[in-house]
Structure 1
Amino acid sequence: MKPLSKATMMEATRLTRNGQLQEAMALLQGSSSDQASSAAGFDAQHDNDRRPAGGAASVIDITPPAATSKTRTASPSPQRDPRSEPKKSSIPQALRGFLDRIGTQGVEGLAGSPVATNTNPLPDGARFFARSYANAAGSRDYKLYVPSGYAGQAVPLVVMLHGCTQSPDDFAAGTRMNDLAEEQTFLVAYPAQSRSANTSKCWNWFNAGDQERDRGEPSLIAGITRQITDEFSVEPECVYVAGLSAGGAAAAIMGATYPELFTAVGVHSGLARGAARDMGSAFAAMRNGAAPNSQTSASGGLVPTIVFHGDGDTTVHPVNGEHVIEQAKAAAGLQTEIRRGEAPGGIRYTQTVHAAEQRGATLEHWVLHGAGHAWSGGSPAGTYTEPKGPDASREMLRFFREQTGAMRG
């Protein structure tokens, strides 16, 4: 199948980002005379191009399932020309995947390089094993990392929610969270989204039924968390949740719907709970941001939250990071301090800290200047990482522990 030219893809990217969807669609469909120019052919090409280069600051496909559910290997019948289909008010099918797969490296982010894998052996005494959980909402697999220093003593638990197209192993490698667990002795759980629930393995943060307590995916993630706390010795005040992209949006939902379970939340390149209620509003929120649900949590209290977001993110608009903070800010009287710095890799950042007088920092917002849709300070051993940025994993852990210390104080 003849791929689209780089020039065509760059122009289609520009048109799409400007909101000229029909023009971009026409350009893609008219770029060649073979079936690669059809919507089905375009979609099939990107089924192969979905495999991102390890360590590249590429976009994560955060596409809702309805946008990727058609059979990608099927070609249109000779009698049916997709260009003759009636125009729809929603985003055209071929543009949905295209919109979400263009990353900070432009069309280079579509290169179909193999996904990097982590082949490092486990430390002696450590375990990283597969488990599963099921309830009335369905079932999900997950992986659990138990560090070599765990001997039955009470330790913290961090629940990590991967981004679209990722896996627990990939996310663990990219965030280096298992290395930090080995260093600081805590458990790490990696729930895995199933392809049957979302063909791109995205957490369904945009579905109304997956944003409520005791329903859908929140109930499954909470169930996984409770299964671990029931079977292992976990400090009840040291249970945290963090995620990237769709996983970041899901982490925000978990903090809002289960504030008694999670002490603090980390959201990297994600969106606030209630930013979308269906597929159409999901795309709007990703492109332009959206006013989130004003309900901050089930109890209406402050959920300590740390946010990382690149201001060069073309997948999830950086304003969504501000919305996460605003939604979490349920208490008055917070004092704000702005700090600026530069990571050893060269990426500059602005850190805004909102602190309660007697609690210390309760909200932090890190804006990564020039960074895209990727885990800051991550390892090239995983996908969708930006190694040159400040270490988001280590900073999240520092923030999490500060919240626990404030509770005990």
Structure 2
Amino acid sequence: MHPDFQRLMTEAARLTRAGELRRATASIRAALGKGAAPAATPTAAEDDCVVIDVEARRVEPEPPIQKPASAPASVPGGQFIAGSHTDVNGAHEYKLFVPPVWRGQALPLVVMLHGCTQNPDDFAAGTGMNDAAREHGVFVLYPAQTQRANASRCWNWFKHNHQQRDRGEPALLAAMTRDVMARYGIDPQRVYVAGLSAGGAMAAILGDAYPDLFAAVGVHSGLPAGAATDLPSALAAMKSGASTPPKNTAVPTLVFHGDADATVHPTNGERAIDARAGGVTPESTRARSDNGREYTRRRYRAEDGRVVAEHWTIHGAGHAWSGGSARGSYTDARGPDATEEMLRFFREHTLPTAR
């Protein structure tokens, strides 16, 4: 990695906003130690903007995760435990929240995919998902991206070899999910996936690739499946919205996106909804959260009356988890509670028994 990582990533963000995608790509490659930095040009005042997901900042070493010898038979008080899934590429770490009500019965599972520079502990703290899952009796799986796979710990949603069933990171995450399901007897009709930014984009890909595994998807400040196939197209999609039509999906989808998001253009949230409910006229309501932010909620119904998609536009919010806690990074405490709304939406959807 280049010693001037933060400066180069900040410069890449400025070049992206200016539409100079080729030079932005060169700056990113230089930051990651894969090329020379682009020639200097007159710049506006530097800021702490983002490129692939969240703030360009120094990536801290990943703390060691202590793994349990095996899954506990029962967990009276609930636990947040470390584990790993092993495949042909080696061991992949995760954290798992086991709700206190579990005594071996089949409970739901939510897979939570963190954003760049984050890790499972940070993401759990910021979203408050474990607290909500404790109340509702839900397992929560937090896969951990590594710096080996991506220097900023981003899920590689923008690479073509990580966008299909049984390939790359979708295959890894699906296999990890099935491993946890088997260990803990998870209800196979109630498995869900959600994520923030790069994690939200990967959640959309997983829903598209594995509609037989995930009963519903939550995309927070992310992009639709197929939004990009390489770094230049990813930068363009983040700046102005995906240019390619969204891939149609049958999986119920909930989207949260701030309309002041300067990292991932809010149009991407619209595209993610179009993938599930394109052409359907929504029911629209505008309200104010208890914490102060106004929002617009649009609900899309199928012909039988079922709500198959929801889009929450958080007015004035940037690139952050709505209603989140300052205990974690990239959160906006003033917005409506995305965590509770996702769990509510997930409870409304299950896979059919016969699959």
Q: TM-score, normalised by structure 1?
A: 0.72
Letter of the structure 1 residue corresponding to residue 319 of structure 2: H
TM-superposed CA distance for 1:383, in Å, is 0.6
Match of 2:203 in 1: 251
Secondary structure of the corresponding residue to residue 171 of structure 2: helix
Secondary structure of the corresponding residue to residue 149 of structure 1: coil
Letter of the structure 1 residue corresponding to residue 313 of structure 2: V
Secondary structure of the corresponding residue to residue 237 of structure 1: coil
Runs (4+) of structure 1 exceeding 4 A deviation are: 9-16, 20-25, 109-112
From 327, 333, 353, the counterpart of 2:299: 353
TM-superposed CA distance for 1:22, in Å, is 9.8
Structure having greater relative contact order (Cα 8 Å, sep ≥ 6)? 1
From 146, 168, 181, the counterpart of 1:229: 181
- Check 1:153–1:279 CA distance in 2 against 1; reply closer, same or farther (3 A cut): same
From 87, 100, 107, the counterpart of 2:51: 100
Larger radius of gyration: 1
Match of 1:163 in 2: 115
Q: C-alpha distance in 2, partners of 1:24/1:129?
A: 39
Deviations 1:12-49 (A, max 9, x none): 97775243679999xxxxxxxxxxxxx9xxx9xxxxxx
- Check 1:169–1:99 CA distance in 2 against 1; reply closer, same or farther (3 A cut): closer
Letter of the structure 2 residue corresponding to residue 262 of structure 1: F
Letter of the structure 2 residue corresponding to residue 337 of structure 1: E
From 282, 293, 305, the counterpart of 1:336: 282
Match of 2:344 in 1: 398
Letter of the structure 2 residue corresponding to residue 70 of structure 1: G
1:27-42 to 2 correspondences below 5 Å = none
Letter of the structure 2 residue corresponding to residue 307 of structure 1: V
User: What percentage of residue pairs aligned between the two structures are identical?
Assistant: 51
Structure with the largest fraction of helix: 1
From 88, 100, 125, the counterpart of 2:77: 125
Aligned residues of 1:292 and 1:323 also touching (Cα < 8 A) = no
Q: C-alpha distance in 2, partners of 1:17/1:400?
A: 36
- Check 1:137–1:256 CA distance in 2 against 1; reply closer, same or farther (3 A cut): farther
1:287 aligns with 2:239: yes
TM-superposed CA distance for 1:294, in Å, is 4.6
Q: What value does the CA root-mean-square deviation take over the aligned residues? A: 3.6
Letter of the structure 1 residue corresponding to residue 293 of structure 2: I
From 181, 189, 193, the counterpart of 2:133: 181
Alignment gaps of 5+ in structure 2: 61-74
Aligned residues of 2:191 and 2:213 also touching (Cα < 8 A) = yes
Q: C-alpha distance in 2, partners of 1:230/1:218?
A: 18
* Count of residues in Structure 1 that have an aligned counterpart in Structure 2: 329
Match of 2:158 in 1: 206
Match of 1:303 in 2: 251
Match of 1:190 in 2: 142
Aligned residues of 2:21 and 2:236 also touching (Cα < 8 A) = no
Aligned residues of 1:354 and 1:364 also touching (Cα < 8 A) = yes
- Check 1:139–1:272 CA distance in 2 against 1; reply closer, same or farther (3 A cut): farther
Q: C-alpha distance in 1, partners of 2:157/2:168?
A: 10
Aligned residues of 1:154 and 1:234 also touching (Cα < 8 A) = yes
Alignment gaps of 5+ in structure 1: 4-8, 26-38, 44-62, 88-94, 104-108, 115-122
Q: TM-score, normalised by structure 2?
A: 0.82
1:368-383 to 2 correspondences below 5 Å = 368-383=314-329
Secondary structure of the corresponding residue to residue 125 of structure 1: coil
